[in-house]
Amino acid sequence: MLLAIDIGNTQTVIGLYDETAADGSDPGGSRCEAGLLDHWRIATKAERTADEQALTIQEFLGFHGFSFDDDIDGIVISSVVPRATSAFREMVERYFGFRPVVIEPGVRTGMPVLTDNPREVGADRIANAIAAIDLYGGPAIVIDFGTATTYDAVSAQGELLGCAIAPGIDISLDALYQRADALRRIELIEPRNVIGRNTVDALQSGAVYGFAGQVDGIVGRMRDEVGQNATIVATGGLAGLIAPYTRSIEIIEPWLTLHGLRLVFAKNQ
């Protein structure tokens, strides 16, 4: 089985794939979920050691009836946190006895990156673009709601052209709370109305409709450059909340990054 690990600034997402089933598709679900046996989301803590990371994964696997020692024969990693990358790499080599596939310069991805400096493009963004092209073809625009909200444009030829990066929803709200003493933290859920009649409703409305408007504005301008027929795919923890309030997002794929990681792993065997 394959472990696909996406290490983000705030959260780390781990997917467990049965590679013997991953090439098939579920007629009732997304191809991203084909072969996906389980998945876990944990807080990213760069200070965790390789031993601590191993213990965390062992507990997840054991809790769901999988063997840490016998069931895992491949691991693929994308990361934007160098210290965590190092710890996971050390964990894999020490506890599993093989080297992980890490999306970094020198690893085959099949994705031409046409930015001014391809080395600065986040590994998760490359995985997202690979997955979007595999699932839907190009052109495509991939929106990832993470610590930052990223908008990646992929050409009809399957090239990563570049992106727009905006502050993420959570950190934007955190900045607001820090600067406005009268505002308190809220649960980010579906707003009852656009016109809020109390502070909580007003904050929820501003966050959800505000970021939905940002999505439509950026996507509209990107389509002018990449093509009006571009498929718009959203992923990330808050994609399911924001997407219904946009006019442009067509598809929500919660496990898009993991699917891209699985494809990269296959290319490097």
Amino acid 180: pLDDT = 85
Confidence of residue 177 (pLDDT cuts 50, 70, 90): confident
Flag the least confident range among 105-119, 175-189, 214-228: 175-189
Contacts of 166 (CB under 8 A, 6+ apart): 148, 149, 150, 151, 214, 218
Tell me what pLDDT residue 69 has.
Answer: 77
Q: What is the pLDDT of residue 27?
A: 46
Q: Kindly write down the DSSP assignment for every residue of 210-264, as one continuous string.
A: HHHHHHHHHHHHHHHHH-TT-EEEEEETTHHHHGGG-SS--EE-TTHHHHHHHHH
CA distance 70 to 56: 17
The pLDDT of residue 49:
95
* pLDDT band for position 112 (cuts 50, 70, 90): very high
Question: Per residue in 242-252, pLDDT tens?
Answer: 999 999 999 99
Has residue 105 got a pLDDT over 90? no
Identical fold, 2-102 and 118-257:
yes
3-state SS, residue 103: coil
Rg of the chain in Å (alpha carbons): 19
Name, of 10-19, 60-69, 151-160, 179-188, the range with top average pLDDT.
151-160
181-207 per-position pLDDT tens digit:
777 787 888 888 899 889 889 989 999
| 135, 136, 142, 147: CA torsion to nearest 10 | -20
Displacement of CA 115 from its chain's centroid (Å): 20
Catalytic hit among 124, 174, 201, 224: 124
Q: Tens digits of per-residue pLDDT, 145-168?
A: 998 999 999 999 999 999 999 999
Give me the architecture of the 118-257 domain, per CATH: 2-Layer Sandwich (3.30)
**Confidence check: pLDDT of 114 > 60:** yes
Active-site residue flag, 124: yes
What pLDDT score was predicted for residue 23? 53
**Domain range annotation of the chain:** 2-102, 118-257
Average pLDDT over all residues of the chain? 91
CATH superfamily for 2-102 is ATPase, nucleotide binding domain (3.30.420.40)
The four Cα atoms 130, 134, 140, 142 give a dihedral, to 10 degrees, of -50
